[in-house]
Amino acid sequence: MAGVSSFRSTLSRAALGALAGLLAAFTALAVAELVAGLLRPSAGPVTVVGGAAIDRTPAAVKDFAIRTFGENDKTVLQLGILAVLALIAMGLGMLSLRHRRAGSAGALLFGIVGAGAALSRPDSTGVGDALPSIAGAVAGALTLHLLASKAAPESSGTGAGGAGWSRRGFLTAAVATAGAATTAGALGRFFASRQGQGATASRNSLVLPKPASPAPPMPSGVQLKVPGISPFTTPNQDFYRVDTALVVPRVDAGTWRLRIHGKGVARPRTYTLDQLLARPLIERDITLTCVSNEVGGPYIGNARWLGVPLAGLLEEAGVRPPSRGGRADQLVARSVDGMTLGSPVEDVMDGRDAVLAVGMNGEPLPFDHGYPVRMLVPGLYGYVSACKWITDIELTTFDAYDPYWVKRKWARKAPIKTQARIDTPKPFARPAAGPSTVAGVAWAQHRGITRVEVRIDDGPWQDADLAVQDTVDTWRQWSYPWQATPGGHTITVRATDGTGQVQTEERTRTIPDGASGRHSVFVTVP
Ligand SMILES: Nc1nc2c(c(=O)[nH]1)N[C@H]1C(S)=C(S)[C@@H](COP(=O)(O)O)O[C@H]1N2
Ligand SMILES: [Mo]
């Protein structure tokens, strides 16, 4: 009996320790968020540790995460960080009942990790960024010390029964801690949201100028009337989002600047948003695609963008493309959160509509998509062209500098590969026998789509009907009337681009320069 009761008391002591550890970690995070909310929300410990983790994740794992969790990948990462933290905190809590100092030392160690992560972020604004983690760690260590002393007062000696501890004393301290931490966390959130208010106000008051060069009227035949096909223009709220930002940058357009400088820039310049908006703007339909898009995948969207032609700005700055004797062959765009993306200067200046976009489908860029200004270069995957929250353009060479993704083994240059996707029927659908419609989208930005063919099982390739082409920079819809016969069928599609090149059958992974291969779906006709 004595054995059982001492086992029970060991167990309940362990539970107390774990609870103390959890509360201490919660307090640490809440205090850190409060300090971050006052200073800089994106310097919060979960954000900086998450950011550091993202930057160090091997490309294959990142690709897996995007594939598996889609746009929830960052939520999953943050929950993972919190889960690991909770486990370690419970361990430290138990340890602190016996070795009070060890528990607190562990808490402080976490503060150092968080502070280190904060200072290593590319958007770190200085040593102040270490403060949230340090303050949180100190609060966590003190909390752990307090709760541990309530749970196992040192004066009580080492008796297994823990005679001296007061259940009420511990519970009171625990409840008070939880209450104080919750308040601190809520205040932190409040201050953080206030920091974004200048940005929100600047976006709400932004009136987009009329384009000097409007997009040509969209031909009515670009949109097929087939249920289940992707809309030709992707609504902003449905537009895919891919970036490394755990906290979406909220930039106040009033203080925002764009600097253009570097090799061969005879007249470096810094622009305000108003200066950019005062220039003649163009409006263009451009389909954007992510290099991480699997064959048949969702990371593609088409929008009507409004913005400043980039080539003109570069010419004013004295930049010449390599084919006209320019010394810089790479344009590196840098965002407010420190992301870097590199595009060939030649492509940006070859006459295509490379643009610094301020508008997306008739409204200012959403924060998620780069407010106030982002770059787009038709024909290039997003990671080598589409810098969101852009603030700096540096002319350099491919030899001299590798931007973010290139350092992580992705290709230096990455034109978008010709692809076609079957939107309907869906994989494993059960369409009725008889007349049926296979339909979807095909894209080969800046080359255009001239032909789409469909094959049922091992049958011959048959021409699909093409919707009207908007421009060579947009995707193109297609449909194929199919007489569905009972049984299982594999439907495959392939596209031909404006250069006459037929989409390759060869399957490649997304890394290093985009997936190739043909999309197919398997359906069963009952
Ligand atoms: N600042 C910043 N810009 C960025 C990225 C990023 O991580 N940070 N990701 C790029 C990638 S990989 C793609 S595919 C596009 C996606 O743009 P969207 O989120 O508006 O669809 O943004 C590009 N621009
Ligand atoms: Mo991407």
Domain range summary for the chain, segments of one domain joined by +: 2-195, 236-407, 419-525
With 60 as the cut, is the pLDDT of residue 159 above it? no
Q: Is 184 in the pocket of ligand 1 (CB under 6 A)?
A: no
Q: Find tokens 């059960």 and name the residue.
A: 430
pLDDT digits (tens, 9 = 90+) for 410-440: 999 999 999 999 999 999 999 999 999 999 9
CA proximity to 380, closest of 464, 444, 456 = 444
Check residue 68 and give its pLDDT: 79
Report the pLDDT averaged over residues 187-202.
89
CA proximity to 439, closest of 423, 452, 450 = 423
pLDDT digits (tens, 9 = 90+) for 282-319: 999 999 999 999 999 999 999 999 999 999 999 999 99
Is 173 in contact with 144 (CB distance < 8 Å)? Answer: no
With 80 as the cut, is the pLDDT of residue 161 above it? no
User: Alpha carbon of 353 to those of 215, 286, 301, 361: distances in Å?
Assistant: 11, 9, 17, 17
Check residue 3 and give its pLDDT: 56
Q: Is 244 in the pocket of ligand 1 (CB under 6 A)?
A: yes
CA of 71 to the centre of ligand 2 (A): 12
CA of 457 to the centre of ligand 2 (A): 32
Check residue 165 and give its pLDDT: 67
With 60 as the cut, is the pLDDT of residue 163 above it? no
Q: Do 236-407 and 419-525 come out as alike in CATH topology? A: no
For 13, list phi and psi in degrees, rounded to 5: -65, -40
Q: Can you name the residues that pair with 478 across neighbouring β-strands? A: 440, 466
Query: Domain 419-525's class?
Result: mainly beta
Q: Is 383 in the pocket of ligand 1 (CB under 6 A)?
A: yes
CA of 409 to the centre of ligand 2 (A): 14
Check residue 154 and give its pLDDT: 61
**214 or 69, which is more confident?**
214
Q: From CA 350, how far away is CA 61, in angstroms rounded?
A: 36
CA of 182 to the centre of ligand 1 (A): 34
Check residue 7 and give its pLDDT: 67
pLDDT digits (tens, 9 = 90+) for 138-149: 999 999 999 988
Start-to-end CA span in the chain (Å): 67
pLDDT digits (tens, 9 = 90+) for 33-65: 999 999 988 899 888 998 998 888 877 777 778
* DSSP codes of every residue in 161-199: T-TT--HHHHHHHHHHHHHHHHHHHHHHHHHHHHHTHHH
Q: Is 339 in the pocket of ligand 1 (CB under 6 A)?
A: yes
- 236-407 has which fold? Sulfite Oxidase; Chain A, domain 2 (3.90.420)
3-state secondary structure of 421: strand
Percent of the chain with pLDDT over 90: 78
Check residue 158 and give its pLDDT: 45
Check residue 59 and give its pLDDT: 74
Give me the chain's average pLDDT, please.
Answer: 93
Report the pLDDT averaged over residues 451-479.
98
With 80 as the cut, is the pLDDT of residue 371 above it? yes
Check residue 235 and give its pLDDT: 98
Whose CA is closest to atom 1 on ligand 1?
Answer: 388
Check residue 485 and give its pLDDT: 98
